[in-house]
Structure formats: structure tokens, C-alpha cells
Structure 1
């Protein structure tokens, strides 16, 4: 139910092409302390001047990180999260788009299919149909609804997949969708119906904010768009649930922060560990709500 943009360029609060940060004292290059710079290594976050920065798949790296990568046999280009770069950086996004569209067409063609996929909280509690927490994330019954969600997925998901890597990006999407469903299950009335990829796409928004911050870019365009989308459920005449939006946003922000900020030999453990923690939190919320309803 949302539409978004990919990571924007440098704005008034970020760094310009020459590495100047407006209104702030710039640090010195870690190898040339006398040279102020607004550019940092995307792996170790050390400040680097124009003579030290080496082009990477996203941003720049310092000479030490490039040498370390070569010593460890990882000289191939890597994403910000340490995942290997691939030729098609939108493959998972395309698959998710196709899956959502396939479910939409199936719902239109098969009578009663939507009722077996969407989230009916009372039904989950009484019948144990836990799959609805996931299948509802891929289910849309209205053309406008799926169009807006898929537009968001393409515009926001594509840049995130390139920055995070395929496995981390897919995990972020699925766990964010589950977290959105869990919070909706907890807070919405038992007889309400919920469906759509909004929880997952708001998770992408949360991770996008972390990516923009990690790259030192202006957050305001994404924040304005996010606030507008968060306000939509409260407009007169709308029947949009805000609960899944908030659940997905918080989950995506937490996982995105961990994925983009983790460093060192345990980086992968921290990245996927954060996803496990969010998943466990969603499971606990679901169990508590089920106990309450039964």
C-alpha cells in the first residue's frame, strides 16, 4: 500500500562530490591526517582521502581492506554487508514480484482462495492456521493495492538487494513481513482481515533508512515519503491497517542496522542473529496473542 524511491543522492545534510560536510568539522584521512575528508571506507568506516580511496561495488574502500580481502581470497567485489556481488542485482526482487503477481492472478481465478490465504486472527487462534501469517503477505485482491506495493518493492527493494546481497535481502523481506503480520495479529480486532505486502515493504523502508545513513546521504526524502505512507491509514474513508506497517518498519530497521553496521570476523553471525531475534520476537507475540484469544 506504499510507494517509495530508491536511495537518493547527496542532499543538503550529506557530503558533496568533494567530500565536504556542511556545518561539521571533517576528520582527517587515517593515512594522511592533514587532509580533511568526508569519505569513509565502506568496510571499516575509516576516513579516507581521494588518494587512498579505492572504488568498490558500493562506495570506496581503504587500501588495508582491499589488501585484507586479497589475502583472504575475497578479492572479488563485495556488497556493504560482505555478500558477493552478482551480475543481476535485482533477481530476488523480480522473483518476489512474480510470486506476488502469481498469487494475485490465482486469487482472481479461483473463488474462495483469498479467504484461505489472508490473515483471520480468530481463525489462526482456533484452527492453528499459522501459514496465514506468511501467505497473507503475498495476497492482494485489489489491483490498486498490489500496484502500489509492487512499485515500492521495485523502487526500494532493488537498491537494497544490491547493497545487502540476495540472501540477506530475502531474509529481511520475509522476516519483516512476518513481524508486520504478528503485530497486526496482536493489535487488530479478532474478527478483522489483513492482507498485502505492506509489512514487508515497510521493512524495506526501515532498512533503506539505515542504508542512507550508512552511506552518509540525506535522510529527509525517505523520511518525508515514510511519514506520508504512515499517515495514509488515518485519512478519512480509508481501511488500511497501520499495525503491520509499524511492525514491518521496526523489524526492517533493526535488521538493516545490524546488517549494515556489523564488522569483524563475526559480522555474518551478527547479521543473521539479528534476523533470528526479530523472528523469535514475532513468534512470541503470536503465541501470546493466541493464548489470549483461546
Structure 2
């Protein structure tokens, strides 16, 4: 392996330490404890594990965590009413409704119902619109984590060619917008399944981000020597292990820096949710961020 490893676990640990310190100061100086509400509808095993991890993350840094579990047959009206209740709850600064929802529930409606000032998952169309015009409120957690990883690795995006593979509303689209903000100033190509000669497009990248959800999609011949490769994909291999969208062993021989799966972007996604919750608590009360 020739590429430098970008360690998301270690960076997440450092950032959580800073978040915990700020939560402690906020509690002591302002008598405020940031609060996150996570809503789980149904009993999807993966969702249950993920919500449980977020709950433990909150406990670790001192954020108050409220978990609301609802049966799979919960009606749209009942879920709507719960979101409105959480919108009105002063002790709740961030609201997360775990996806996917059961088929009979309208995910977009729920995203639109969450108050923009508590939209720590950054899925409300208002939040996405503010990002699109260059005046963001909250940053989507996974793309936010990618930006932090690039900064930590010393990757300068100003003027850089960045190729993002994948155009989802969770990762690809918001990340492309974030990378073009003032101060980031990247030249971004948003590639996808209909991109002509994807390999050739990828080879133009100083930074290549794979966010498709297809194991081994990015091979060594698609990577320009010395490029930074960020693997957002999380796929389950035949043996049950987690693998990314990048052929890690082969690409690591070509790239200048690379994130592993697991241990790369994943820990950062959960950490940036904590950061967004802290930011929401501060903004809702007109508190200044520490220098």
C-alpha cells in the first residue's frame, strides 16, 4: 500500500472530544443541555442498530437523547403529530426520523414537517435550498464528514478537480454544492450511472468520491496517480464483512490518500450529527460559538 490512510475513527474521536467540551461549557455557562430526538418506526434491524449507536454517541458527549420507538403500522397522522410535538418541544434542538420508513408512510412529507431550525439531518427542502444558493444552515452529515476528512488530510480543494460518483440527495448532490461554496472553491463533476466513459472522467480527479453503494465499483485504472480517494460506500460482502465502493487494496497502490471501509467516512457521519445538534442548540438560543 502506497497511499496515506485517512483515519475517520481517529478524527471522529478528536471532534467528539471538542464537542463534549463545548457541551460542558454550554451547560455551565448558559444552563443549556443540547437535545436530540431520534424517531424509529418499525423494527428494521439495521435502523435499530443505527439509532442505538446515535443514542450512545449523544450520551458520550453529554447531549440529551430522546428515543421514540413507534410500531410499523403507525399512521401518517400519528407520525405527523409526533413531529409537530417535537418541533414545539423547547428541550429538543434536533430531530431525526430514521429512514427508511415503512412503505405506507411519506418520507418527503416528514422531512418537510421537521422545523428547519431543528433539521440536523439536513433533509428539509428548505435546508437543501439554502445550501444551493450558497447560504447553508445545516450541512448534511455524511458530506459534512467528507469535508472534515479532506481538511484533516490537508487536501486543498481550492481550484481542485473533484469527481463525485453518485447523485443522491443524501450524499452526492449536497456534497457537490458544499465543495463549490466560497472557501472550498472546487471544480466539481457530479457523475452517475449515465455518465459516458466514467473511468475517463474519474481519471481527471484530484479528489475522487465514491458514493453509489456498489461494491468494488472504483478500480485502480479509474484513479489518477496521487489522487485522494474518499469511499462513502457501505456494502455487505458475501462473507458478511463491510466493503466500500472502492477496490481498496488495488486503488491504495495508486492513490495518494484513501479512506478505509469501515473506519473512514462512517464514524464522521455520526459525529457531524452531534455537531449539527450542538449548532442548533446554540443558534436557537442566540449563543455565540466559542473561538
Same fold (TM over 0.5): no
More strand as a share of residues: 2
More helix as a share of residues: 1
Larger Rg: 1
Q: TM-score, normalised by structure 2?
A: 0.31
Q: TM-score, normalised by structure 1?
A: 0.31
